[in-house]
Amino acid sequence: MARGGIYKNEVLRAREKLLAQGIYPSIDAVRTELGNTGSKSTIHRFLKEIDEEEGGAVGAKVAVSEAIQDLVGRLSGRLHEEADVRIAEAAAKNKALSTQQDETIAALRKEAEGFRLQLERSQVALVEEQARHEQTATSLSSETLARTQLAQQVTDLLERLASEERNRQSLEENLRHSREALEHFRQSAKEQREQEQRQHEQQVQYLQGEVRTLNQSLSEKQHEATQSSQENIRLANELAHATSKLHQVQGELRTLQHVRDELAVASRRVEELGRRLVEKEALASELSDRNTVLETQAGEFRGRIRDLDVELAAAKATIAAQEGIAESIRAHFAAEGKKEKIGVATTSDSAKPRSSKSQPAKNQETLFKTGP
C-alpha cells in the first residue's frame, strides 16, 4: 500500500534520477522509483508542475492546448484513483482468500495429522494383533503337543494296566492251584487221621498245626491278592476319570479353532488348559508311581507263592514219609494178628511174643524219632 504525504522535491529527485538513467519519467516509473509510494494523481500533479516550471515536457514536445492537457490530467488522475480503489479491493479479496486458503490448508494439515496418528495407531494395533495371533498359535501348538504326549501316556498306562491284570489273573490261578492242593492235602490228612492209630495222634496234630500255618499264609496271600485287585480296580477308575478329562480337554482344544476372532477369551482358555494339563500330568505321575508300587507288590506275591510251593512240597514229602511209617505199622499189626490166630500159647512162646510186642514199641519210638 502507498504511504500518504509525498513531497514535490521527492518526485523531482526521482524524475531527475530517471532522466540521468535515460528512462522516460512516466507516472509508474516515478512511483516505482519512490518505492511504490504515493498516489498516481499526486505524482501526476507534481510532474505537471515541474514541467510547467521547466517550460515544457521532456523528450518529444507536442503542441496541445492547455484545456486538453488539463482534461487529460484529470482523466488520468481519475483513472489512477479508480485503479487504486480496485487494486485495494482486489488486494483485500486476495488477502481474505489467502487467509481462507491458509485456514483450509491448516485444517487439511490438522486432518492429515489426525489421519497419520490414526494410521500409526492402526499399524501398532495390527502389530500387536499379529503378535497375539502368533502367541496364540504357539500356545495352540504347545497344547497339541502336550495333548499328544498325554494321550501316549494314557496308552502306556492302559498297557501297564492290562499287564497288571494278566499278572493278577496269574496270581489268582496260582492261588487256586494252591487252594486245590491244600484241599487235597486236607482230604488226605483227614483220611490218614481216620485210618491211623492213636499212636500217630501227636504227629497228626503236628501236621494239623502245619496245615493251619499254611491256611493262615494262604489266607494272608488271598487277602493281599484281593487288596491288589481292589487297587487295580481303583486305578482303572482313576484312569477312566483321566480319560474323561482328556476327552474334555480335546473338546476344549477343538473350540480353540474359533478363537481367532476372540483373542482375549482364547488367552484365558489357553491358560486354563495349561493348568488342567499340569493336573493331568501330576495325575499320570501319581498313577505311574502307584503302578510301580503294584508291580513291587506283585513281585513280592510271586516270591511268597514260590515259598509256599516249597513249603507245600516239604509238607508232601513229610506226608509221604508218614504214610510209609503208617504202612510199616499196619504190616506189623497184621503179622501180630496172624500169630495170635495160630494159637501158639506156650510159656516160652508167650514170653517171646511179649518181647516181640516190646520190639514194635521200640521200632515205633525209633520211627517217631526219625520223623520230621
Q: Please give the Cα distance from 159 to 139 (Å, whole number).
A: 30
Q: Which amino acid is at 305?
A: I
Q: Are 152 and 105 part of one and the same domain?
A: no
Q: State the pLDDT confidence band at 347, using cuts at 50, 70 and 90.
A: very low
Cell 483450509 maps to which residue?
104
Whether the pLDDT of residue 10 is over 60: the answer is yes
Cα 189 from chain centre? 67
Tell whether 158 is covered by a domain. yes
Q: Are 203 and 103 part of one and the same domain?
A: no
Q: Are 171 and 47 part of one and the same domain?
A: no
Q: Are 248 and 186 part of one and the same domain?
A: yes
Q: Are 109 and 31 part of one and the same domain?
A: yes
Q: Considering only CA atoms, which of 337, 171, 130, 155 is closest in space to residue 243?
A: 155
Q: Are 24 and 93 part of one and the same domain?
A: yes
Tell whether 313 is covered by a domain. yes
For residue 250, give the CATH number of its domain.
1.20.1270
CB within 8 Å of 28: residues ≥ 6 apart: 40
User: What is the predicted pLDDT for the residue at 59?
Assistant: 44
Tell whether 136 is covered by a domain. no
Average pLDDT for the chain: 77
Tell whether 160 is covered by a domain. yes
Tell whether 354 is covered by a domain. no
Q: Are 289 and 179 part of one and the same domain?
A: yes
Whether the pLDDT of residue 277 is over 60: the answer is yes
DSSP of 239-289 = HHHHHHHHHHHHHHHHHGGG-TT-HHHHHHHHHHHHHHHHHHHHHHHHHHH
Q: Are 104 and 212 part of one and the same domain?
A: no
- Number of domains, the chain: 2
Tell whether 370 is covered by a domain. no
Q: Considering only CA atoms, which of 73, 68, 47 is closest in space to residue 58?
A: 47
pLDDT, tens digit, for every residue of 15-61?
A: 899 888 888 888 888 889 898 888 888 888 888 888 888 765 444 34
Q: Are 171 and 271 part of one and the same domain?
A: yes
* Alpha-carbon distances, residue 194 vs 136, 139, 355 (angstroms): 84, 80, 29
List the grid coordinates of 302: 510271586
End residue of a domain, out of 63, 92, 121: 121
Q: Are 46 and 156 part of one and the same domain?
A: no
Tell whether 300 is covered by a domain. yes
pTM of the full predicted structure?
0.24
Q: Are 211 and 265 part of one and the same domain?
A: yes
Tell whether 341 is covered by a domain. no
Q: Please give the Cα distance from 289 to 310 (Å, whole number).
A: 32
Q: Are 201 and 242 part of one and the same domain?
A: yes
pLDDT, tens digit, for every residue of 166-191?
A: 888 888 888 888 888 888 888 887 78
Residue 48 structural domain = 8-121
pLDDT, tens digit, for every residue of 226-245?
A: 876 787 688 778 778 767 77
8 A C-beta contact, residue 176 and residue 307: no
8 A C-beta contact, residue 136 and residue 260: yes
List, in sequence order, the alpha helices (H) in the chain. Answer: 8-20, 27-33, 40-54, 66-195, 201-255, 263-342, 347-370
Q: State the pLDDT confidence band at 65, using cuts at 50, 70 and 90.
A: low
